[in-house]
Amino acid sequence: MKRNTWILIGMAVILVAFAALVLTAPAEAGKLEEAIAKTPAGTGPGQINPEATKGFMGIPGAPHHFWLFYILWGIWVGWIFSSVGAFGGIMAGVGHISVFGLSDYASTFKKTSPFLNKMLTDSIRTSNQYLVGLSALISSFTYYRMGRLVLPLGLCLAAGGILAGYLVPLLTVGKMDVSFYVGFFGIIVFAVAFVLFYETTPKGQASKKAAKAAAKAFEDIHIRKCAVDEGGAHACGVQVKHWGLTRIAFTFYGQEFSFNPLWPVLGGFVINGISAFIGVGGGFLYVPFLTSVAGLPMFIVAGTSALAVLVGMIVNIFNMMVVRAVPVDFVLISTELIGIAIGSVLGPMTSKKIPDVWLKRIFVVLAVYVGIGYLTKGFMGKSIFPGM
Amino acid sequence: MGSLTMEMHPVYLFLDPYLIWFYRLTGHAALNFLLGTFVLASLAFLVGECTSNLAMSLVRRHLGRTADEAKKYQDLSMEALKTGDRPAYEATNKLANDAFGQSFFMQLTLSATFFWPIFFALGWMQYRFLEMEFPIPGTNWSLGYIGGFILIYIAAYLILKRLPWIRRIKAWCGAVGHQAQGQEST
């Protein structure tokens, strides 16, 4: 096995072992019981009726749905994930916030039990994190195997990610009101909508066409040479030429690449910060960040970002679940995952039947609807659209 | 949830007598937990392996197509780098990135086919062991049910992965998927 693989596995094992050692479930249980005890008993809004049917996380009177509903929503999320991409994570969040009614339920405790309100907010984003983040973990291993690792770059990204993974839960767990969370979720939805929209515009389409034409022209001239030179190419892998506080340089296939370490640290911080704050939209941003912003080759980026994703996710989940002891409803998560699993099979089988550009246009409309709905609900107190 | 409700989900209520049986095999509580959780983790691993193989065999063709495209542009970008053709490199790198993104999300979503039984098992453990705490001798730390499950799951994974009959089960699940895929094509 390669040395870098051992480094990766070693880091993961140390973090998981440490996390496992201090995992104290009673803290999780105690926290929920404490929150319920602090909430006034009764049948009105913002009160808990101990006699009511138990719902989300076993809280009496909390939203509760038939299990098939969770599976169906999971199928929808899985289908979007495997056909449109990042928007699947948004839909996982929409499910928890709106479809299952958890945000509205949490809002009722805003004045009567702020502790329960904030704990439910943390639970929603940790549930998102589980659905989106844990899947990224296994994918990052897959991509690590196919890529190559630029260790200084991976370490810079991971350093930023660890910092965000530590700071964001420290500053926000138990402190974030559900309305505030929903508002910020709306902002992220808008960002995703903007990217999707750009890809459907004539400019976005033209840039893709131009890239395809340039690639085709290059392929026509060089494709044979590529096959002949395969052995020689391997000898020109990543070679780090300079390590410095302001500049790290390496050569790849004879071409020199350099970066200021501050940028990947900042990138790692922002990307993992979003992931820890909202619960969606983290790890997968590393690859576009490194290829588009830093201009690095995909071949290197895939392996390097895998290291950053892995470290970031372990820190996030460790912090939310273990250090902050945020309770989650595993029944809800596992039934949703069954749906996502089904959707992951249906997505690749059916999405090719719908033109890519139309698929994106549909989701732009949906994203604008959800984004405006959440922004108004979060920051103005009431969504201007129904169903949010 | 366990301490708050004691009202198990009907699916867990059905499975509970079978699963808890493995936690009552000896007279020693810690050993019982180890044995029972090992069986639970093994079941979660087996079901996850089976459903992920089934799913992979169903979508392999679609996944392969996207992965091939990513590889093609990735190779081309490498070749462009070698020849020092910067515009061609940037173009092919962009296309490799797009194809990679698509393939990434397909694989990411497919990983749910492997993970769901783990959460399903944790859901049952949440009812049964939420308030249990296992002190680590010689330290002030303690192990909760999630930590216990994760460690035992890793052990079960490493042991079961080496068994030859696991490969046969995986192959069988894959064959079922291929058969379904064949029927869909015809």
Q: How far is B15 from chain A (nearest CA, A)?
A: 14
Q: Which of A176-185, A251-260, A262-271 has the lowest mean pLDDT?
A: A251-260
Nearest C-alpha neighbor of A106 from the set A178, A49, A29? A178
Say yes or no: A134 contacts chain B, CB-CB below 8 A: yes
Quickly list DSSP for A81-93. Answer: HHHT-THHHHHHH
The pLDDT of residue A334 is above 50: yes
pLDDT at B43: 95
- β-partners of residue A248 are A259
Establish if A143 touches chain B: CB-CB under 8 angstroms.
yes
pLDDT tier at B178, thresholds 50, 70, 90: low
Give the pLDDT score at B183.
Answer: 58
Comparison of pLDDT for A229 and A55, the residue scoring more: A55
Of the candidates B95, B105, B142, the beta carbon closest to that of A211 is on: B95
**β-pair type (B134-135, A239-242):** unpaired
What is the model's pLDDT at position A12?
Answer: 58
Q: Looking at A49-63, A231-245, A262-276, A362-376, which range is the least confident one? A: A231-245
Q: How many angstroms away from the CA of A232 is the closest CA of chain B?
A: 10
Residue A331: its chain B contacts at CB < 8 A? 1, 9, 12, 123, 126
pTM (2 d.p.): 0.73
- B77/A297 Cβ within 8 A: yes
A217: closest chain B residue by CA: B88
Q: Which positions 86-105 of B are in contact with A (Cβ < 8 Å)?
A: 87-98, 100-102, 104-105
Task: Label residue A220 by pLDDT band (50, 70, 90).
Answer: low
Question: Which is nearest to A9 in space by CA: A306, A298, A320, A238?
Answer: A306
Record: contact A337-B119, CB cut-off 8 A: yes
- Reference A190, options A377, A357, A366; nearest CA is A366
Q: Could you report the predicted ipTM of this complex, rounded to two decimals?
A: 0.74
CA distance B66 to B90: 20
Tens of pLDDT, residue by residue over B69-93, are 888 888 888 788 778 787 888 888 8
* pLDDT above 70 coverage of chain B, percent: 88
* Residue A345 confidence (pLDDT): 84
Higher pLDDT, B158 or A226: B158
- Whether residue A217 and residue B88 make contact (CB cut-off 8 A), yes or no, is yes
Nearest CA in chain B to A51: B5
Question: With bands split at pLDDT 50, 70 and 90, how would you rate the model's confidence at A142?
Answer: low
d(CA A308, CA A152): 11
State the pLDDT at residue B47. Answer: 92
- A chain contacts of residue B101, beta-carbon cutoff 8 Å: 85, 284, 287-288
Judge: B1–A57 Cβ closer than 8 Å, yes or no: yes
Asked if residue B110 lies in contact with residue A344, where contact means CB atoms within 8 angstroms, the answer is yes
Locus of tokens 């749905």: A65
Written in H, E and C, the secondary structure of A205-265 is HHHHHHHHHHHHHHHHHHHHHHHHCHHHHHCCCCEEEECCCCCEEEEECCEEEEECCHHHH
Report d(CA B64, CA B102) in Å as an integer: 11
Position A233 scores a pLDDT of 44
The chain-wide mean pLDDT, for chain A, equals 75
CB pairs under 8 A between A and B: 260
**Using a CB-CB distance cutoff of 8 angstroms, which residues of chain B are in contact with residue A219?**
76
Residues of A in contact with B88 (CB under 8 A): 214-215, 217-218
Interchain CB distance below 8 Å, B78 and A54:
no
Return the residue in B45, B68, B89, B110 with the most chain A beta carbons within 10 A, the one to mutate for interface testing: B110
Give the separation between CA A73 and CA A325, rounded to whole angstroms: 27
Task: Find the CB nearest B106 among A82, A212, A337.
Answer: A82
Are the beta carbons of A301 and A287 closer than 8 angstroms? yes
Question: To which H or E segment does residue B143 belong?
Answer: strand B142-143
Q: Is B55–A345 a contact, with Cβ atoms under 8 angstroms apart?
A: yes
DSSP label of A384: S
User: From the list A81, A254, A352, which residue is nearest B105 (CB)?
Assistant: A81
Residues B168 and A343 sit within 8 Å (Cβ to Cβ): no
Tell whether A209 lies on the interface with B, counting CB pairs under 8 A.
no
Asked if residues A32 and B153 have their Cβ atoms less than 8 Å apart, the reply is: no
pLDDT of residue B141: 67
In this complex, is the C-beta atom of B80 within 8 Å of any C-beta atom belonging to chain A?
yes
Residue A249, strand partner residues: A242, A258
pLDDT exceeds 50 at position A206: yes
Q: What is the mean pLDDT of chain B?
A: 81
Rg of chain B over Cα atoms, rounded to whole angstroms, equals: 23
Which pLDDT tens digit goes with each residue over A152-177? 888 888 888 888 877 887 788 777 78
Task: State the sign of the Cα–Cα–Cα–Cα dihedral B67, B70, B76, B82.
Answer: negative
pLDDT in tens, B12-47: 889 999 999 999 988 888 899 999 999 999 999 999
Which of the given ranges, A188-197, A198-207, A334-343, has the highest pLDDT on average? Answer: A334-343
* Chain B residue with minimum CA distance to A292: B94
From B28's Cα to the closest Cα of chain A, the distance in A is: 21
Smallest CA–CA distance, residue A282 to chain B, in Å, is 13
Q: Are the beta carbons of A64 and A327 closer than 8 angstroms?
A: no
Residue A119 sits at the chain B interface (C-beta within 8 Å) = no
- Spatial distance between the Cα atoms of A228 and A140, rounded to a whole number of angstroms: 31
pLDDT of residue B5 exceeding 50, the answer is no
Please state, in angstroms and rounded to a whole number, the distance separating the CA atoms of residues A42 and A210.
Answer: 64
